[in-house]
Amino acid sequence: MSDPVKHECAVSMLRLRRGIDYYIRKYGSPFYGCQHLALLLEKQHNRGQDGAGIACVRLNPEPGEPCYALEKSNRNMPLADLLERIGRTMPPPGETPTAEEALRTCPFCGELYLGHLRYGTFGRQGLDACHPFVRANSCLNRTLLLAGNFNLTDTREIFARLLATGHHPASRADGYLILQLIGHCLEKALDEKQHNFDLAEVLRHACGEFDGAFTLCGLLGDGTSFAIRDAAGIRPGYYYFDDEVAVVSSERPAIQAAFDCTTAEVCELPPGEAMVIDRDGKVEFRPCLPPKPLRRCVFERIYFSRPNDAEIHRERRALGRKLVPAVLKEVDGDFANTLFSYIPNTAQVSFHGLLDTLNRIACDAGHTVRFGQIAVKDAKFRTFIADAASRREFYMHIYDVTYGLVRPGSDTLVALDDSIVRGNTLKNAILPIFDRLDPKKIVIASAAPPIRYPDCYGIDMASLKELVAFEAAVDLLRERGRFGLLERCYENAKRELEGPAEAMTNCVRPVYDEFSDAELSAAIARRLRPDNMRAEFAVVFQSCADLAECCPDHTGDWYFTGNYPTPGGFRVVNRALVNYMEHIDARAY
């Protein structure tokens, strides 16, 4: 993706189902659990680089000793910093302590682990914003450690619920509120039922009315653990267990890499169910949340998740193949004078799908497909210009280009991107550097449809003014003397915001209904075109219908269609419109 979009985090939970002695005998180390949690997080570092945290809970701790250890980091390269600090608490290589010695002297030797990688989409960036969060208590079964990948739209309601139960919440952050609410329901259940309480019932009472997206993992100080995913399946979650381990993680390939298991052995965490692992290591799945239609986030397939997942790899290649007719139309089928490329790095797999189909078509017609990597991201240079990003002559050099592939004055350059959100990097960096190669025409092809609507489920796209598609639609309204439509949508949004979220509709949709997809694409191209650009320029987008065909099991396409999976989404899109019209620079939830 050319735009630097921050998004949902990564969470991993690991439960060893044997004693520490077993792992020493079989694997030669009492730190098998910690090492494999570290590997799970390393394989998901794409999901979070603003902070990291690891917690370890040990079974049957000695009185006078803590039941958990916790380390967090928000330094540069936080996961590396975190693992280095934890490593200093372990004996040097070559020394293998006994299980008893390791449990007594090494705080990160234990049976339960919880890890998190954070992308700070909004608000706090300090160490206290890093997961796992802790609600400590001198009773082991009342001590709660929580980490997750979540964003809720109803934090005001949760805050009010805590107030009504006699609490004094010290923060309005959703992570803090979720921790306190689950902790409150846990203590209430323990007070009423002592040791016979039902953890799935606790989670049902705490999370049953949440509006938003979440995959939550938690550890209790007594060795019980759980994972729960929102009933619509918006956020991803996968699990695997055998007679040695039980593990939950945000991405399937991370589990496959850490435990050498097949795709079929790693299962999707059932939406709306609680995976409960008791202190003896028994794994159980329990229905927990009211059922909802499945709306798995399709952006996971386009961009967020790593493409080494077998299903995601197939789907991204399919997205590239679907673009071929529109791309060939834009270049008039001229293989001889077109160079095909992509914008690194997340568009690479889709480009392979595009290239496969182009090669078949060209071969049948007796042509050859010319392709190469034109754009090369210069990560070190990005750091150098961090304090001078407003200086365009520096900013454009975030990317290098490969010289000698484009024939000046005669070639059309086609570059595939996975999606276009704001378009800032395209306009200020990629297109100017492409134009220096003197192509006759530049075509940017997006594997995703235009992002028309804000998100509220974990990605920093909650403002309409940050979406180039919306600004392009407003341009069209002004050009055609139809700006009054936007004003009527604004008035409707204000009225709907006075009512319940359950009754709301998407008041932004009529704006887009005014124009065809081709008209919107052309308007977006005009917005993205840099001043003084010499080449002709066009943008090609995936259609929503083709996206649905490529990713049939992930119908969470509200970014493109405005069909939100929860009532809170409609409240957010209407609030975003009111903020836009009233020039309020604030998040819509």
* List of residues 6+ apart from 314 with CB closer than 8 A: none
Same domain, 334 and 420: yes
Same domain, 239 and 334: no
Distance between CA 531 and CA 103 in Å, rounded? 64
Same domain, 320 and 290: no
Domain of 145? Answer: 10-294
Q: pTM surpassing 0.85?
A: yes
Q: Are 71 and 85 within 8 A, CB to CB?
A: yes
Same domain, 275 and 398: no
- Note the pLDDT tens digit of each residue in 446-500: 999 999 999 998 776 789 999 999 999 999 999 999 999 999 999 999 999 999 9
Q: Are 225 and 277 within 8 A, CB to CB?
A: yes
Beta 370-371 vs 338-342: how paired, if at all?
A: parallel
Distance between CA 269 and CA 262 in Å, rounded? 16
Q: Are 232 and 565 within 8 A, CB to CB?
A: yes
Same domain, 135 and 252: yes
CATH of the domain at 360: 3.40.50.2020
Q: Tokens 């239609």 sit at which residue?
A: 293
- Is residue 306 in some structural domain? no
Same domain, 281 and 329: no
- Is residue 536 in some structural domain? yes
Name the E strands within 250-313. Answer: 267-268, 273-277, 283-287
* Two structure tokens written together for 237: 């979650």
- Is residue 194 in some structural domain? yes
- Is residue 445 in some structural domain? yes
Same domain, 102 and 250: yes
DSSP-derived letter for residue 529 is P
**56: enclosing H helix or E strand:** strand 51-57
Same domain, 260 and 392: no
- List the strands of the sheet with 133-135, edge to edge: 133-135, 144-152, 212-220, 225-229, 273-277, 283-287
Q: Tokens 């069209």 sit at which residue?
A: 476
DSSP code string of 319-368:
HHHHTHHHHHHHTTT-STTEEEEE-TTTTHHHHHHHHHHHHHHHHHTT--
- Note the pLDDT tens digit of each residue in 266-315: 999 999 999 999 999 999 999 999 999 999 999 999 988 888 899 999 99
Q: Are 72 and 58 within 8 A, CB to CB?
A: no
- Is residue 135 in some structural domain? yes
pLDDT < 70 positions in the chain: 1-8, 120-125, 378-397, 460
- Based on the structure, what is the number of domains in the chain? 2
Distance between CA 178 and CA 353 in Å, rounded? 42
- Is residue 301 in some structural domain? no
Q: Are 255 and 266 within 8 A, CB to CB?
A: yes
CATH of the domain at 57: 3.60.20.10
> One-letter amino acid identity for 394?
F
Same domain, 249 and 346: no
* Two structure tokens written together for 222: 């007594």
Q: Are 217 and 147 within 8 A, CB to CB?
A: yes
- Is residue 434 in some structural domain? yes
Distance between CA 408 and CA 90 in Å, rounded? 60
Same domain, 23 and 136: yes
pLDDT of residue 123: 52
Same domain, 135 and 85: yes
Same domain, 289 and 335: no
- Is residue 573 in some structural domain? no
